[in-house]
Structure 1
Amino acid sequence: MELKKITIYGYGKLENLTFSIHSPIHVFYGENEAGKSTIMSFIHSILFGFPTKQQTELRYEPKLQHKYGGKLEIYFPKIGLATIERVKGKATGDVTVTLEDGRRGQEELLNELLAGIDKSLYQSIFSFNLHGLQNVQQLKGEELGRFLFSTGAVGSDRLLKAENELQKELDLRYKPSGKKPVVNEKLQDLRDKHGQLKVAEKDNNQYVQLLAKKRELEKERQLTEAELKQEEHEIRYLEEWIKIKEIALEKDILEEKLAAFKELNFPQNGLTRWGALKEKMLSVEAELRYLEAKALEIEQEMTSLSIQEELIKSEKDIILAVEKFPVYEQLQNRQNQVQNQLKSIEEEIDSLKSNLPIEEEILLKESNTSIFLKEQCAQAASKQRRLKEQKEELDERLKDEQTTLELLEETVKEYKQKLLPKDERIRLEEHVKSDNQVRWNKEKADLLLREIKQLEEQVKVEEKRIKQNTMITSVLSTFLLLVGAGALFFEQWFLTLISFAISIVYFLVFLSGRKLAKNEIRKKKKRIVLIKEERAQLLAIMEKGQGISPYEEQKLEDDTKCREKFTQLQFKLEQQNESYERVLQGFEKWEADFLSHQKLLRQLANELRIPYELATQQIYDAFLLIEEWKAKDRESNSIYQELEEIQQEREQIISKIIHLFEKFIGMEKETIANMCYRLKTALTEEKKKKDRIETLQRKQDDLSEHMEKYQTEYNRYAEEKTALFSIAGVKEEEAFLEKAALEKERDTYKERLSTIDVQLDIAYISKEQIPLYKKILDPERQLDEKQTKIERLASRLKELVEEAAAINFTLSRIESGGTYTDLLHTFKQFQSEFKEDVREWAKFAVAKQLLAKTVEQYKQKQLPAMLQKAEENLAFLTEGKYIRILPKEEGAGFLVESHQHVFYEAKELSQGTTEQLYLSIRIALAQTFYKSFWFPFIIDDSFVNFDEKRTEKVIQLLKKCEQNQLIFFTCHRHLLKHFPDNSLHVLPAEERETSL
Structure 2
Amino acid sequence: MKFKKIHIYGYGRLQDFIVDNLSNLQLFYGENEAGKSTIMSFIHSILFGFPTLQQSELRYEPKTHSSYGGKLIFETEKYGEVVIERVKGKAAGDVTVLLEDGPVEAADFLPKLLNGMDKKMYRSIFSCDLQGLQEIQHLKEEEIGKYLIAAATIGTDGLLRVEQQIQKELQELFKPGGRRPMLNDLLKNLRQQDQQLKRAKQESAAYVSLLTEIQEISSRVETTKEILKQNKMKLEAVNELFRSWPLIMENEQIRRRLLEIGPVHFPAEGLKRLEKYHDRLLEISSTLQTVHQRIRAIEQEIEENALRQEFDQNKAQIFIHEWPQQEQSLRELSNLDHSITEERKKVDAFLAELHYPAKKVEEINSLNLGIDMKGRMTETLQQYIRFEDRLKDLEDRLEDGRKTVMELENKCKETERQLVSESVFKEWRIHYEGQTSTASLKEEKSRLEKEVEELKKRKKHEKNMLQKKKRQTSITSAAFLFISLGIFIWSFISKQWPMTIAGILGVTFTGYFLFRKVEGIGMDFINDTLKAKRQELQKLEEQFKRAVGDGNIASRYEEQQRLRIKWKENYARLEEEKQRLEEMEISFRKLRRIVDVEERRLNEFKMELGLDKDFSHLKMEDAFSMLKNLQSISRQLNEALDRKERLQKEQGDWTEGLFQLVSNAGETVHEPAQAVFFLQETLKKEQEKKIVIKELEKKLSELNIDVLQLKNEDSAIRSNMAKLFEAAQVDNEENFREKAKRSDEKKILLERLALLEGQLGEVTNPFQSQKEIQAEMNDLKADIEKKSQQLEEDRNILASLNQKLSFLEEGGTYTEQLHLFRQMRSTFNEESRNWAKLAVALNLLEKIMKKYKDYRFPQVIQKAAEYFSFLTDYEYCHLHVKADGNLSVERKDRVLFAPEELSKGTGEQLYIAIRFGLVHVMKEEYPFPVIIDDGFVNFDQARTKRMLELVQTISHDTQVLLFTCHRHVARQFSEDQIFHLQQRVSSQI
TM-score of the superposed pair, with normalisation by structure 2: 0.39
TM-score of the superposed pair, with normalisation by structure 1: 0.39
